């Protein structure tokens, strides 16, 4: 007596085994990542918000000056090792783009004209879709434009740095700066207080504006 269904199932299993029986290797790495933070708060800290950006620090090489054109029209890896990440407890803005409170993975986008922008995707969504730092084929949820300042540094910045610098005369206002080699990428930054969320929820003026500057 033949059992065509069972035979077909066994055959399918045999064909599937080579594809699924892959050898996996485990590993662990301990290292240091740079972090920059931006905060806004009142005297008793009953109002407090923070944005924290962490990233790896690749080393600058002189030949990178001649490779700028290779970045054009691409979504490029930002930092080193794992993703550059942003966690902000309140809405903020970089380069005029609104960034809702949340957790994001980041990359560096360069359009065909050589204009740079930070690229963002919700970190949970990125992990569920299997996106990795070197994956250059994902679509950012939004981008924040940056200004390229070439050869502005007196000395070469050997390891990439990203910093938030707060303005002394404006609560929550500041500047984002990426420095590498003798070049910088900069944009105005603003971290809003938690009251911004309440205004959005109650239909205040802040809530009437679309997210991401659109």
What value does the mean pLDDT take over residues 135-155? 94
Asked if 117 and 95 count as a contact pair (C-beta separation under 8 A), the reply is yes
Asked if 121 and 103 count as a contact pair (C-beta separation under 8 A), the reply is no
Q: What is the pTM of this model?
A: 0.80
Express each pLDDT in 114-142 by its tens digit: 999 999 999 999 999 999 999 888 999 99
Residue 93 β-bridge partners: 98, 190
Express each pLDDT in 73-119 by its tens digit: 999 999 999 999 999 999 999 999 999 999 999 999 999 999 999 99
Determine the pLDDT at residue 170. 75
CA atoms within 13 A on the CB side of 112: 0
- The candidate with the shortest Cα–Cα distance to 156, out of 177, 178, 181, 179, is 181
Share of the chain above pLDDT 90, in %: 71
Q: What's the Cα-to-Cα distance from 125 to each of 46, 110, 141, 159, 205, rounded to whole Å?
A: 32, 23, 10, 30, 29
Determine the pLDDT at residue 21. 65
Q: What is residue 44's three-state secondary structure? A: coil
Structure tokens at 157: 């910045």
């Amino acid at each position: 007596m033949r059992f065509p269904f069972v035979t077909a199932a066994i055959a399918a299993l045999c064909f599937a085994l080579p594809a699924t029986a892959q050898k996996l290797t485990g590993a662990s790495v301990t290292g240091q990542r740079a972090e920059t933070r931006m905060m806004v708060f009142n005297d008793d800290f009953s109002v407090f918000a923070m944005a924290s950006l962490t990233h790896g620090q690749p080393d600058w090489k002189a030949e990178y000056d001649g490779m700028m054109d290779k970045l054009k029209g691409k979504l490029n890896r930002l930092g080193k090792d794992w993703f550059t990440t942003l966690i902000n407890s309140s809405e903020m803005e970089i380069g005029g783009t609104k960034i809702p409170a949340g957790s994001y993975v980041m990359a560096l986008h360069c359009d065909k004209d050589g204009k740079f922008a930070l690229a963002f995707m919700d970190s949970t969504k990125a992990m569920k879709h299997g996106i990795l730092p070197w994956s250059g084929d994902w679509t950012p949820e939004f981008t924040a434009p940056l200004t390229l300042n070439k050869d502005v540094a007196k000395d070469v910045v050997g390891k990439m740095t990203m910093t938030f610098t707060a303005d002394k005369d404006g609560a929550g206002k500041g500047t984002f700066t990426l420095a590498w080699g003798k070049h910088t990428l900069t944009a105005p930054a603003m971290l809003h207080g938690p009251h911004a969320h309440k205004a959005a929820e109650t239909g205040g003026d802040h809530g009437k504006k679309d997210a991401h500057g659109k």
